[in-house]
Structure 1
Amino acid sequence: MLLFLCSVTLMAQDSLAIQDSQVEPPKSMDLVAPSEVKQAFKRIKLDGIAAVVGDYVILESDIEKTLIDLKSQGVSDQDVNRCQLLGKLMEDRLFAHQAVQDSVLISDDEIAAIGERQLQQLVSQAGSLDRVLKVYKKEDEESFRQELNKINKLRMLSERMQTKVVEEIEITPEEVRQFFNDIPKEERPVFGAELEISQIVKTPQAPEEEKQKVIDKLNELKADVEDNNASFSVKAILYSQDPGSKSKGGFYPMSRETPFVKEFKDVAFSLQEGEISDPFESPFGYHIIYIEKIRGQELDLRHILMVPEVPSSAVKEAIDELKDIKKKIEEGAFTFAEAALNFSDEKETKFDGGVLRNPTNYDSRFELTKMDPSLYKQVSNLKDNEISFPIEEPDPRGGQTKYKILKISNRYGEHTADFARDYMKIQELAKTEKQLKAINDWRGTHIEDTYISVSKSNRDCDFANNWVKE
């Protein structure tokens, strides 16, 4: 049941770590007497062990539980079978085992912080900790946390080992060309219809008096917590405008790697445990942060976000300015790219002519079938070189609402891959193939070098890898 805590695929793989135990395998099969090997397999059979990879044990019951979980999520028997699942679990443990051998470090604090996030999310969804424990059939919070930590540690070790295998792999232009030329013409990929989109953004600003009102209110909340022992968590629930943490009393676990804005992280890591920051500004508004706990480089914090009110006059001014920019572009006073450079408030796009970048690959093209639905809705009715009327775009993270005009700069129909036209996509495909080959080569080598045993009942599986070592 723990599959729902992370992404479906990863947790489906990792839930079988629930009953992982450390074993002491023989250092080399050559050093083990035949009678001892025979006795070991007897124990495996009796204990219901499906396989052993290095220091990790996979139980038969683990496989069955994961299959049940996958089916409950709509995965059919045709999509995954028992042998495929066992093979994938063995792969994960091979990577995790080698990560330990190579001293890939994951701190207990980091694992605990991830588990805390997952638990907080579950409690928020279920309504109470007791309900969570009941759903996952756990007697108490401690045993549940221990299980989460086991799952997360194995997953993170496996992921980081795989990253280590491929992190230095680069692809040269000649390798990209060779990769493309090796694909028969009739088998070359077909790319769907694509768009290049540009935008000009205006973000209405709150006046200074509104900003000061927010700062004063945050100082008032801080003083009430410090002087009167008021609950920061309750204050966050009542006053915070952050949709991601308001219902959790402003709670976030955070590490140096957490993708929060620099302003927020700089303040958080400058505070001591139990300290509340002064109000400070970020792109989302104004915050105060309370450090609940420090665990090495991991923080448990609560924060309150308040956004100064933007008057309707400022909104109207932004919309009118965008309408005026649109009119002047259409009249030929300047190009869209020139207008973006001179008038757009969005730093990420203004210096590139307003061109939007696909967040998946940083290319300027968006494939229609893979485009964010909200963006697709905004541009779907635009003709080539037509400029939209101003569009309101609230920030889903609680930041300031912005207004924008959009233009389709280029349109590409569905087409068979072309080396020059689709170079970036082909480069990505070539690099992925090179990384997969490196992973496969690594896996083959380490299967031979690692103690692995597969129970008799699973030896007839048609594994993709040589787990049985025949």
Structure 2
Amino acid sequence: MKFINKSAILALFLLSATVINAQATKEKVDGVIGVVGDYVILDSDIDLEYIQLRAQGVDVKEISRCELFGKQLEDKLYAHQAVVDSIIVTDVEVNGFMEEQIDAMVEQVGSMDKVLTFYRKKNVDEFRAYFFDIIKNNKLTSQMQKKIVDDVQITPEEVRNFFKAIPKDEIPTFGAEIEVAQIVVKPVVPESEKQAVIKKLKELKQEVLNGSSFFSKAVLFSEDPGSSSNGGYYKMNRKTPFVKEFKEVAFSLAVGEISEPFETEFGYHIIQVDKIKGQDVELRHILISPKVSPEALKEAKLKIEGIRTKILTGEISFADAAKSSSDEKETRNNGGVLLNPRTLEPRFELTKMDPSLYGRVSTLKDTEITVPFIDEERTGKVYKIMTVNNRTEEHKADFSQDYLKIKELALKDKQIKAIAKWTEEKIDETYIKIGTDYKDCEFTNNWTKK
């Protein structure tokens, strides 16, 4: 389930504090400070920007109201032009996202009344109308930005010219990078343990059918850390990123129906559907994972030690061993090579690596292999060995060696220029009014049309 982030929750509390302070002193009258097309910007919008930045840990001492006002003007210009260009954000899309966010807010702060207090809204309908507009405008803004840059392409010649134009003392430095590969061996869970879990889940199902609370059973027995404390509750639709087997069962059930035990990579589940609202399903589930015995762990260790020995003696290469023996389907067909989750490329910059991975491989020499170690994955304990295929030391950007990185920089530069050109043109075409208090601001863009 997608929960609202911690900074947003902190922003709620900071906003509530602002409300209390405003009530204790003479409250400033809110007013329109800008207009872009059909969109207005209020002085309180700037106050809210400050609150949200502080909640995210940003030092706002050097950020002026003019700068934040400029950002608001940009956002409203994107949203206005999105409507002009007939970019469609459906009410269904907005309402679906809004319901997820409201559910998360209520869960985090305790009640809808607290949410209404934080936002200074009289009732739920007023809050929903307010929140609906915010979400729709944000989605229009992001889609308009995407439309501008999606058409921007770059040729090899443009990349070459971009790199040549960089002054020598400003050529970027790229950090040290390595390519990492791994072999994974999962302990074998005996069939008897699987059957014991299935039997337990069937017993829990029957107890619920006999009148027990599914909520209570999930709190007591479910091993899903993300939902057990909340009675196994999830709200999902067909686009929610759950594993295939889970979604197939969830969308096959009627309201009130409880599934038979079924297996995913996380273990065995039963699901009970609480509500079906349009495309959304609200459900509860119980997850129990078969336990790995000490004997199974020992066998897995012996297996991976044997694989490592064969690699060290030259009987087989690391890549071929991964293809033939690794239990990790995501990497075995690629010789065990890991993809960087940030770039989706098979290279990791050392200074930006996950600390646990860095600790395993940072001191390895090329082709050196770690000793087998246990790693706790989301599906349970596994044994691994890792190696470094090749390493690139920190260096000044080189056109042939770092072409892809330079291409990315060149493309971003071209996109920024495209956005600047688009903004300049749309400012000239759009009705824009700047409030008196902000007339003297020094904007990056020509909002005052001087």
Q: TM-score, normalised by structure 1?
A: 0.82
State the 1:367 CA deviation: 0.7
Q: Give the equivalent residue in structure 2 for 1:209.
A: 192
Distance across 1 between alignment mates of 2:157 and 2:264: 44
Q: Which of the residues 363, 367, 384 maps onto 2:349? A: 367
Q: Give the equivalent residue in structure 2 for 1:184.
A: 167
Q: Which of the residues 390, 393, 396 maps onto 1:410? A: 390
Q: Give the equivalent residue in structure 1 for 2:407.
A: 427
In the TM superposition, structure 1's runs of 4+ consecutive aligned residues that sit over 6 Å from their partners are 9-12
State the 1:465 CA deviation: 1.7
Q: In the alignment, is the contact (CA less than 8 A) between 2:275 and 2:282 conserved in 1?
A: yes
Q: Give the equivalent residue in structure 2 for 1:42.
A: none
Structure 1's 394 and 384: CA in aligned 2 closer, same or farther, altered over 3 A? same
Distance across 1 between alignment mates of 2:79 and 2:391: 45
Q: Give the equivalent residue in structure 1 for 2:42.
A: 59
Q: Is 1:456 aligned to 2:436, yes or no?
A: yes
Q: Give the equivalent residue in structure 1 for 2:287.
A: 305
201-210 or 297-306, which deviates more: 297-306
State the 1:414 CA deviation: 0.9
Q: Which blocks of at least 5 consecutive residues in structure 2 are unaligned? A: 16-27
Alignment of 1:234-383 (within 5 A): 234-383=216-365
State the 1:107 CA deviation: 4.0
CA displacement 1:140-180 (0-9 Å, x = unmatched): 66655554444333222222222233334443433333332
Structure 1's 203 and 356: CA in aligned 2 closer, same or farther, altered over 3 A? same
Q: Give the equivalent residue in structure 2 for 1:401.
A: 381
DSSP 3-state at the match of 2:139 = helix
DSSP 3-state at the match of 1:215 = helix
Aligned-residue RMSD, C-alpha: 3.1
DSSP 3-state at the match of 2:249 = helix
State the 1:8 CA deviation: 5.1
Distance across 1 between alignment mates of 2:419 and 2:8: 19
Structure 1's 230 and 391: CA in aligned 2 closer, same or farther, altered over 3 A? same
Distance across 2 between alignment mates of 1:108 and 1:394: 42
Q: In the alignment, is the contact (CA less than 8 A) between 2:9 and 2:108 conserved in 1?
A: no
State the 1:360 CA deviation: 1.4
CA displacement 1:233-270 (0-9 Å, x = unmatched): 33322222222222222223323332222222333334
Q: Is 1:228 aligned to 2:210, yes or no?
A: yes
Q: In the alignment, is the contact (CA less than 8 A) between 1:116 and 1:253 conserved in 2?
A: no
CA displacement 1:19-72 (0-9 Å, x = unmatched): xxxxxxxxxxxxxxxxxxxxxxxxxx9861111223322111221232244235
Q: Give the equivalent residue in structure 2 for 1:444.
A: 424
- What is the identity, as a one-letter code, of the residue corresponding to 2:279? Q
Q: Is 1:93 aligned to 2:73, yes or no?
A: no
Structure 1's 384 and 90: CA in aligned 2 closer, same or farther, altered over 3 A? same
Structure 1's 146 and 284: CA in aligned 2 closer, same or farther, altered over 3 A? farther
CA displacement 1:61-85 (0-9 Å, x = unmatched): 2212322442354423344221111
Distance across 2 between alignment mates of 1:139 and 1:228: 43
Alignment length (residue pairs): 434
DSSP 3-state at the match of 2:380 = coil
Distance across 2 between alignment mates of 1:337 and 1:417: 30
Q: Which blocks of at least 5 consecutive residues in structure 1 are unaligned? A: 17-44
CA displacement 1:170-192 (0-9 Å, x = unmatched): 43433333332332333221011
State the 1:343 CA deviation: 0.7
Distance across 2 between alignment mates of 1:331 and 1:430: 46
Q: Which of the residues 178, 183, 191 maps onto 1:195? A: 178
- What is the identity, as a one-letter code, of the residue corresponding to 2:217? K
Distance across 1 between alignment mates of 2:108 and 2:10: 18
Distance across 1 between alignment mates of 2:281 and 2:419: 34
State the 1:366 CA deviation: 0.7
Q: TM-score, normalised by structure 2?
A: 0.85
408-417 or 201-210, which deviates more: 201-210
* Percentage of identical aligned residues: 52
